[in-house]
């Protein structure tokens, strides 16, 4: 329910009317004006499975056979903590990226909040994700999992203990169902290493785990708002509803949208009564 002092046509200007969030067609052209500035620079993968197979095959061509002793020389800028570290008595992990894994795109990860973590996680809250050998600081959006015909998924404001959701954020391409771990800072200013081989994870606590899903820039995360009213008078097939709108202009603005009841009855707005909707 909206406040009587708030104009519904202004408060809900960016929303659109849908009969069903799962099956109704979503017109993407209406979202062009609200896209982020760098949205068009993100990598769009039309065939995720095919691109993943090609990138994997390229990595298997040539190279050094397993079990061969080699000398590795690092060119370019090497982090200071790596130069100063004593690597003679401890192993060091080296890895390379597959094709396109340095490019930015929209990442989707199935996240399962641990039942041992007693608190809920709010959408857009800072998390530290360890995905394979890489570590990112993210502020993901949560949405309901599953496949829908129109690729529209309901936005989740919170992720509660024991629940699952899809975490969406902008990050580097990750090929395949790579396992992921999610951490939260337990101390202000906790050090977050950029890779898994650096032993500086103090001040972090494990809150969730998950698996990387195919990257997709076409996944729609939608907030759902339901306008409700109270039946005041019923005469045959005409019902008088109050407390849904509080001005005639709001009624005229939403007049084209159909109405539904909890028991499946449908109808439409016929006219306004009085001057307050």
Q: How many CA atoms lie within 13 A of 101 on its CB side?
A: 18
Phi first, then psi: what are they for 125, rounded to 5°? -80, 145
Distance, in Å, from the CA atom of 158 to the CA atom of 138, rounded to the nearest integer, reads: 16
Q: Could you tell me which of 31, 3, 4, 29 has the C-alpha nearest to residue 15? A: 31
Residue 34 C-beta-side C-alpha neighbours within 13 Å = 7
For 16, 18, 156, the CA distances from 224, given in Å and listed in that order, are 10, 10, 10
The SS3 call for residue 169 is: strand
Query: Do residues 239 and 219 touch, judged by C-beta distance below 8 A?
Result: no
| H runs (alpha helix) in the chain | 8-11, 48-59, 80-84, 248-253
DSSP-assigned beta bridge partners for residue 239: 234
pLDDT at 233: 83
Query: 89, 17, 47: which is closest to 260 by C-alpha?
Result: 17
Domain ranges of the chain: 8-16+225-268, 34-59+93-222
Q: The whole model's pTM is what? A: 0.79
Name the fold adopted by 34-59+93-222.
Answer: Elongation Factor Tu (Ef-tu); domain 3 (2.40.30)
Would you write out the chain's pLDDT as a tens digit for each of its 277 residues?
677 788 888 888 888 888 788 888 888 887 788 888 888 899 999 899 999 999 989 888 887 888 889 888 877 777 777 767 666 677 777 888 889 999 999 999 999 998 888 899 999 999 999 998 899 999 999 999 988 899 899 999 999 988 899 999 999 999 999 999 999 988 765 555 554 444 445 688 999 999 999 999 989 999 888 888 888 888 888 888 887 888 888 888 888 888 888 887 888 888 887 765 5
C-alpha span between 108 and 197 (Å, rounded)? 25
């Amino acid at each position: 329910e909206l406040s009587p002092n708030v104009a519904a046509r202004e408060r809900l200007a960016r929303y659109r009317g849908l009969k069903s969030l799962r099956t109704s067609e979503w017109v993407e052209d209406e979202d062009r004006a609200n896209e982020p500035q760098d949205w068009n620079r993100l990598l769009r993968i039309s065939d995720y499975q095919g691109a993943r197979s090609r990138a994997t095959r390229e990595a298997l061509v040539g190279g050094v056979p397993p079990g061969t002793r080699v000398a590795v020389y690092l060119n370019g800028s090497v982090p200071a903590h790596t130069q100063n570290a004593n690597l003679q008595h401890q192993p060091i992990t080296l890895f390379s990226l597959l094709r396109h894994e340095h490019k930015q795109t929209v990442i989707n990860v199935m996240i399962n909040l641990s039942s041992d973590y007693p608190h809920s996680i709010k959408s857009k809250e800072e998390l530290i994700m360890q995905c394979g050998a890489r570590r990112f600081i993210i502020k993901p959006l949560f949405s309901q999992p599953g496949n829908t015909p129109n690729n529209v998924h309901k936005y989740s404001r919170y992720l509660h203990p024991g629940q699952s959701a899809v975490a969406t954020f902008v990050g580097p391409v990750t090929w395949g169902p790579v396992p992921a771990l999610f951490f939260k800072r337990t101390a202000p200013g906790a050090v977050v290493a950029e890779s898994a081989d650096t032993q500086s994870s103090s001040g972090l606590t494990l809150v969730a785990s998950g698996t990387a899903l195919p990257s997709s820039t076409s996944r729609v995360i939608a907030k759902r708002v339901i306008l409700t009213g109270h039946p005041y008078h019923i005469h045959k097939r005409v019902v008088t509803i109050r407390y849904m709108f509080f001005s005639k202009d709001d009624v005229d603005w939403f007049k084209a949208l159909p109405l539904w009841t909890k028991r499946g009855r449908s109808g439409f707005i016929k006219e306004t009564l009085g001057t307050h909707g």
